Amino acid sequence: MSYNKAWEVGYARDRAYGRRRYVPATDTRAKLQELVDAHVPVRAIARASGVSDTAVAYIIDGRHEQVQRQTATRIASLTLNDMYARASGSVPSVGAVRRVQALMALGWRKADLKAEGVPTGQLVTRSRDLISVEGWRQVRDVYDRLSMTLGPSQAARDRAAARGYPPPLAWDDETIDDPRARPQHGEPVEASVDSVAVDRVVASGSAGTRCDTDLQLTQNERVAAIRRLATRGSSDREIAEAVGASKRTVLRLRHRQEILPGRHGARPGSAHGERSMPVDPTGSERLSRSAWLEQAAARTTGHARGANVGLSARRPS
C-alpha cells in the first residue's frame, strides 16, 4: 500500500484538534433517503456527493454505520439542483414541467419557449416521469432567462390561469424540482418556529459565516431568519449563505413575505449605518418587476381582452 503523506498530515491535524474523522451515518442516511424519496437516481446522488453508487446504497440500507465527516458535510448540503447539474442520463421531469408552466403563467407560448430553447413544446402535457438531463438543463436555462420577463401573449396567460399554473414567484429554486414541494402563494408564515435554530442562523449570518449544514430549517424558520438578518442589515448574498439558499430564493421569500431588504453598513456597531445604500438594487428591482408583472398578468386576466387597464401608470419605479 502506497504512503499518502497528505492523508497522514491531515489525520494528525484532526487528532491534534480533537476532530473525529468519522461520524454516525444517521443524518447522512436520512438525507440520502430524502433524495431517493424525491425520485433522484442513486447514480446522480453518487456523482454529486463524490462517493460510489455502492457506498450510497450501503449507507441507505444501514450497512455503513459511520461515514467520513467530509462526506457527511457534503451530502448534508446537497440540493436537487446540485444533483441534476452533475447527473447523466435521465432525471425526473417534474421540475422542468413546473418551469414551463410558470413561464406560461407569465404569457410565454409553447412556440416562444421552443424558440428560446425548450426541447419540446409538448413538455407541459407530457405523461412520462423522466426527461434527459440535457433537456432539463435547457429548460432550466430558459427559465432563468425569462422568469423575470412578461411574455407576449395575454391568451397564454388566460389559459395558464384557467389551468391553475403557478407563476415563478410561487416556487423556490431549491424545491421546484422536488415532487413533494407545493407552490407558495404568499400565505402568512405560521408563528411556530424553533427559536434556537433561528438564533444560530442569525448569529452565523451576523458573523459572516456559511450555513450550518447540521440545521434542518423549516420554511417558517428560514423566513424568520431572513427577516431578522435583513433587519440587522445583512445583504441578500450574506443571508443566502447563512440560511443555505440561493440569493434568488432569498429575494423571492422577501417579496412574498414583504420583508424589506437589508442595507450596506447598517449592521450593529457600524459607523456608517445612517448613510447606508440598498443591498443588491439590481436583483431587488428585477424581482420587484417580476412581482409587478405577475400582478399585472393577474389583473388583465380578469378584464375583457380589449380593455385598457393602464398598466404603465402602475409600474413600479
- Look at residue 302 and tell me if it is in a domain: no
Residues 211 and 279 in one domain: yes
**157 pLDDT tier (thresholds 50, 70, 90):** very high
Is the pLDDT at 108 greater than 90, yes or no? yes
- Look at residue 216 and tell me if it is in a domain: yes
Instruction: Return the C-alpha cell found at 292.
Output: 409587478
What's the domain count of the chain? 3
Q: What is the pLDDT of residue 165?
A: 93
Min mean pLDDT across 69-83, 145-159, 183-197, 282-296 is at: 282-296
Q: What is the pLDDT of residue 29?
A: 93
Min mean pLDDT across 85-99, 152-166, 273-287 is at: 273-287
Residues 215 and 281 in one domain: yes
pLDDT higher for 206 or 7? 206
Q: Look up cell 434527459; give the residue.
A: 132
Q: What is the pLDDT of residue 121?
A: 54
Is the pLDDT at 41 greater than 70, yes or no? yes
Q: Which residues make Cβ contacts (< 8 Å) with residue 203, sequence separation at least 6?
A: none
Q: What is the pLDDT of residue 142?
A: 92
Q: Which of 135, 170, 205 is the last residue of a domain?
A: 170
Residues 18 and 74 in one domain: yes
Dist CA 153 CA 218 (whole Å):
37
Bridge pairing between strands 22-24 and 90-92: unpaired
Q: What is the pLDDT of residue 266?
A: 39
**Which helix (DSSP H) or strand (DSSP E) does residue 131 occupy?**
strand 130-132
Q: Which residue stretches of 91-232 are H helix?
A: 94-105, 110-116, 133-146, 154-163, 195-206, 219-232
Q: Which residues make Cβ contacts (< 8 Å) with residue 175, sequence separation at least 6?
A: 80, 181
CA-based nearest residue to 135, from 151, 123, 147: 123
- Look at residue 264 and tell me if it is in a domain: yes
Helices (H) and strands (E) in the chain, counts: 15, 4
Q: Look up cell 414541494; give the residue.
A: 181
Cβ(120)–Cβ(131) below 8 Å = no
Residues 29 and 108 in one domain: no
Strand partners, 66: 24
- Look at residue 255 and tell me if it is in a domain: yes
Is the pLDDT at 164 greater than 80, yes or no? yes
Q: Which of 170, 185, 219 is the last residue of a domain?
A: 170
Most confident of 153-162, 186-195, 200-209: 153-162
Other beta carbons within 10 angstroms of residue 21's beta carbon come to 12
Q: What is the pLDDT of residue 311?
A: 40
Bridge pairing between strands 130-132 and 90-92: antiparallel
Residues 212 and 279 in one domain: yes
Cβ(108)–Cβ(156) below 8 Å = yes
CA-based nearest residue to 251, from 264, 265, 240: 240
Radius of gyration of the chain (CA): 22
- Look at residue 298 and tell me if it is in a domain: no
**DSSP conformational letter for 62:** T
Residues 206 and 255 in one domain: yes
3-state helix, strand, coil in the chain (%, to 5): 55, 5, 40
pTM: 0.59
Strand partners, 22: 68
Instruction: Return the C-alpha cell found at 110.
Output: 409553447
Q: In Å, what is the CA distance from 65 to each residue of 1, 43, 75, 81, 147?
A: 25, 21, 15, 27, 43
Domain that holds residue 21: 12-78
Residues 258 and 203 in one domain: yes
- Look at residue 233 and tell me if it is in a domain: yes
Q: Look up cell 436537487; give the residue.
A: 80
- Look at residue 111 and tell me if it is in a domain: yes
Cβ(238)–Cβ(228) below 8 Å = no
Is the pLDDT at 162 greater than 90, yes or no? yes
Residues 63 and 94 in one domain: no
Residues 143 and 199 in one domain: no
Tens of pLDDT, residues 207-237: 877 776 556 677 788 888 898 999 888 888 8
Residues 205 and 281 in one domain: yes
Dist CA 239 CA 250 (whole Å):
7
Specify the CATH number for the domain of residue 55: 1.10.260
Q: Which residues make Cβ contacts (< 8 Å) with residue 78, sequence separation at least 6?
A: 31, 35, 45, 48, 49
Is the pLDDT at 54 greater than 80, yes or no? yes
- Look at residue 1 and tell me if it is in a domain: no
Residues 66 and 116 in one domain: no
Residues 218 and 267 in one domain: yes
Q: Is 1 helix (H, G, I), strand (E, B) or coil?
A: coil
